[in-house]
Chains A and B, each alone.
Chain A
Amino acid sequence: MIEIDDLSKSFTLHNQGGATIPVLDGAHLAVAPGECVALTGASGSGKSTLMRMIYGNYLARSGRILIGGLDVARAAPHEIMELRRTTLGYVSQFLRVIPRVPAVEVVAEPRLAAGVDRATALAEARALLARLNLPERLWSLSPTTFSGGEQQRVNVARGFVHPYPALVLDEPTASLDGVNRDVVLTLIEEAKTRGAAIVGIFHDIGARERVCDREIDVTGFAPARVA
């Protein structure tokens, strides 16, 4: 479902003397439907960069990122938009809060974008927020003033409300208490059971051991340093 081949990435900082920072070189991985792969490696080794490239958020310098047959490294913007609408979900570490938009609408939005009718989308959003133990009085409020853990649960709900065949998860259990951590891990297990291919960063070792089938150390994709 997710196939990465000979992928490289570097950043050129034009306004800081044109410095070029190579981050990844020859990265490769393959994730089958129903499989969850953890990216590991020290901070700064390029885990998040790789995940952002899979989502089309960062541009690849060279290589291939095939997701359901589409090469994200070469796809036109409207093709990536369609991929994100139907196939590829992303749970980031931080919720991008939109003023005035209630939590339940934030969660329902991916379903509305996928063409599900409003009543169904909202019902699904409420069911998921309830499962994640977000107090019902918060559902109609904008998450602007929510705590970190509450925002993270809205974020997770938004990422799991649509049955994406491919998922990218950036520390989905960060800032959650034990009960909700367990709910999120169950959601991941359910996604695997329905056949989703998942790539994620899990600093929580227990979480990684429970849901991940394999680990890939991205340090192996570090560009050779020129001494």
Chain B
Amino acid sequence: MTPLLSVHGLTKTYGAQIGCADVALELHPGEVLGVVGESGSGKSTLLSCMAGHLTPDAGEVVFDTRAEGPRDVLKMSEPERRMLGRTDWAFVHQNPRDGLRMGVSAGGNVGERLMAVGARHYGEIREAATDWLARVEIAETRVDDRPSTFSGGMQQRLQIARNLVTAPRLVFMDEPTGGLDVSVQARLLDLLRGLVRDLGLSAIVVTHDLAVTRLLAHRLMVMKGGRVVEAGLTDQVLDDPQHPYTQLLVSSVLQV
């Protein structure tokens, strides 16, 4: 089975400071990979390098494209990469304001991504937008409202709808449930689990919340100081951690 994404030797430094060093990973279709570690461990740098928001110093990010099979994304032309970012890839930001256009209606936010890939029929775009708002549990009556009038949880669900409307195969998520109330978090996690299973999505989810990874991620990668210190099945890494740092992380979680 060809991996959907395979990363080798990915390295990014900020002067003398290591962002991430020699990271390798493989993601198979339908898999969700969680990336955990404390602030400054390099998990967000890694995500940004893979998603093309940062240029790494070294390494390969090979994506199994629909048309041409496996290709190193870092060697693609800028227009090619941008096309990928609008079609097969999606990026869910921690802060929905970074992923939404706050001055455009909810329906417009979802429809815009469809128009960027060539959809022109207004009725169809609106129908697809309304359908996606329903899937992320936003009432049809709010389709013409701006996201600035939405709660934080609704904004995050809208950002997910905007990202998933083009049926991407790979979704990058940066702390998708960060900054949300616990009850809202649970609702969002449940929604994401369902979408991953029903659409066969693959995703890389960066989070510092181990409980989130247990619910959402099949596999887990633990980072410290820019390096991957441990990786494996999520329940195995959480229940039988091998590396001293992972043992510390797991034992530091407060039981409720």
Contacts and interface: CB of A to CB of B under 8 A. Distances in A.
A56 B190 contact: no
Nearest to A55: B235
Nearest to B26: A78
Provide the main secondary structure of the chain B interface: helix
Range class of the A interface residue count: 20 to 34
Interface in A60-75: none
B28 A58 contact: no
A52 B240 CA distance: 10
Given A56-B236, A81-B218, A15 B244 contact: yes
A12 B186 CA distance: 34
Contacts of B218: 77, 81
Interface string B242-256: 111001100100000
A100 B235 contact: no
Given A52-B239, A81-B218, A100 B186 contact: yes
B199 to A, nearest CB: 13
Interface string B217-243: 011000000000000110110011011
B215 interface: yes
Contact of A77 (B1, B187, B219, B244): B219
B240 A99 contact: no
A19 B51 CA distance: 41
Given A15-B244, A59-B242, A77 B186 contact: no
B236 A98 contact: no
The residue among B1, B183, B247, B251 with the most chain A CB atoms within 10 A of its own CB is B247
Interface string A88-104: 00000000101111000
Given A81-B233, A98-B215, A14 B244 contact: yes
B253 to A, nearest CB: 14
Contacts, number: 55
Contacts of B189: 98
A12 B243 CA distance: 9
Contacts of A96: 214
Contacts of A59: 232, 236, 240, 242
B197 interface: yes
B105 to A, nearest CB: 28
Interface string A38-61: 000000000000001000111100
Contact of B240 (A14, A57, A77, A112): A57
B31 interface: yes
6 contacts: A11-B240, A12-B242, A52-B240, A58-B240, A59-B232, A100-B186
Q: Which 4 A-B pairs have the closest CB atoms?
A: A14-B244, A99-B186, A58-B240, A100-B190
Interface of A: 11-15, 52, 56-59, 77-78, 80-81, 96, 98-101, 112-113
Given A15-B248, A81-B233, A101-B190, 9 more contacts: A12-B242, A14-B247, A15-B244, A56-B233, A57-B233, A59-B242, A80-B233, A100-B187, A100-B190
